[in-house]
């Protein structure tokens, strides 16, 4: 992870860049993924292809990482966490498997694993690619 203001490598758990003092995720001069300087107004990094704009689009709400993880752990066998995050295809598959009964154990394990992955992931995202808030 790199500072979007100065390109310095920063710790994923840091709130600010120790080199320039900018808040993590602010700035638009350097790629968050590879640290290379971005062309002004670029949508994607020409070096690695990473999206230059990582903030949530105006008018959209970030989903909660905690809510998604707990939904996965508690109701994941019904795909509730995937409905919440906008992954409707996967959610419908989990719902059907969960309701069939004979495959409930598979659905329970699937939901439990996904819930834990959401909670332990550094930057989980919803179906639109918007990072989940802590």
Averaged pLDDT in 10-residue chunks for the chain of 134 residues: 86 84 81 85 82 58 92 92 94 87 78 94 88 88
HSE at residue 108, side-chain half, CA atoms within 13 A, is 6
Token digits of residue 129:
């690619």
pLDDT at 114: 95
pLDDT at 56: 46
Question: In the 8-state DSSP scheme, what is residue 78?
Answer: G
pLDDT at 28: 81
pLDDT at 60: 60
pLDDT at 80: 95
pLDDT at 18: 87
**Of 75, 63, 84, 60, which Cα lies nearest the Cα of 133?**
63
């Amino acid at each position: 992870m790199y500072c979007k203001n100065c390109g310095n490598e920063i710790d994923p758990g840091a709130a600010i860049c120790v080199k320039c003092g900018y808040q993590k995720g602010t700035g638009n001069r350097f790629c968050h993924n590879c640290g290379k300087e971005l062309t002004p107004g670029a949508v994607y990094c020409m070096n690695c292809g990473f999206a230059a704009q990582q903030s949530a689009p105006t008018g959209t709400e970030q989903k909660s990482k905690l809510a998604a993880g707990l939904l996965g752990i508690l109701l994941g066998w019904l795909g509730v966490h995937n409905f919440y995050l906008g992954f409707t295809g996967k959610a419908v598959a989990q719902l059907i498997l969960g309701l069939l009964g004979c495959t409930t154990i598979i659905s329970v394990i699937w939901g439990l694993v996904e819930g834990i992955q959401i909670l332990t992931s550094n930057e989980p995202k919803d179906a639109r690619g918007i990072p989940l808030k802590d």
